[in-house]
Amino acid sequence: MRAMINEKGQWEVSEEVWGVLKLVWPKPDLLILGLGASVYPISPETRRQINLLGIRIEVQDTRNAAAQFNLLATERGVQEVAAALIPLGWKAR
């Protein structure tokens, strides 16, 4: 598996990672990404892959992403929001 941080310092994963979002119904309108203890910019290609599914992206550190997901899921329902959370101990490189 290749590193998740590309040579430009952007968080990038392959298109296959988002396969589950192609299957779920209804699709969430917002995906909250928690990228560990730090926040990294998302590569344009990764952003494009998610946006092509009709899903907006919010990027935060994992602690804040989990808190925001819990709040929004309570307010709006789990059908409208999803989260992808990287563990806090993850090392970028």
Tell me the per-residue pLDDT of 15-65, one tens digit each, with 9 for 90 and over.
Answer: 888 888 888 888 999 999 999 998 999 999 999 999 999 999 999 999 999
Domain for residue 58, yes or no?
A: yes
Prediction pTM value = 0.86
Greater model confidence, 51 or 78 = 51
86 falls within a domain: yes
80 lies in some domain: yes
8 domain-assigned = no
Closest CA to 71 of 39, 30, 35, 42: 30
Range of the domain at 84: 24-39+48-93
In a domain, 65, yes or no: yes
| Owner of token pair 């430009």 | 8
Strands (E), the chain: 30-35, 56-60, 81-86
73 is a domain residue: yes
* Residue 72 located in a structural domain: yes
Is 19 among the domain residues?
A: no
